Amino acid sequence: MSLSFTQDIAKEKVFQEIEKYLANKNFNIDKKDSTRPWGGFFVINESQAESFINEYFSHLKKKIC
């Protein structure tokens, strides 16, 4: 599944499609907010942070603090 949207798609539909996309990737959404004037956000379960980073930011190197 890939995401592709046109400019005229309703924000609610975008959020629905992204939620489905994340579910297909086995990410659990703890919170979501689609009420922001600029769009909104999803909060992925913190226990899945490493999986999320590996999926979308694998090009970044992990820093050890």
Q: 11-63 pLDDT, tens per residue?
A: 999 999 999 999 999 999 999 999 998 889 999 999 999 999 999 998 887 66
Longest dimension (CA), the chain: 44
Higher pLDDT, 58 or 1: 58
Rounded to an integer, what is the distance from CA 41 to the centroid of its chain?
A: 7
pLDDT at 36: 92
pLDDT at 63: 64
d(CA 28, CA 47): 9
pLDDT at 58: 86
pLDDT at 21: 96
Question: What backbone torsions phi and psi does residue 19 show, to the nearest 5 degrees?
Answer: -60, -45
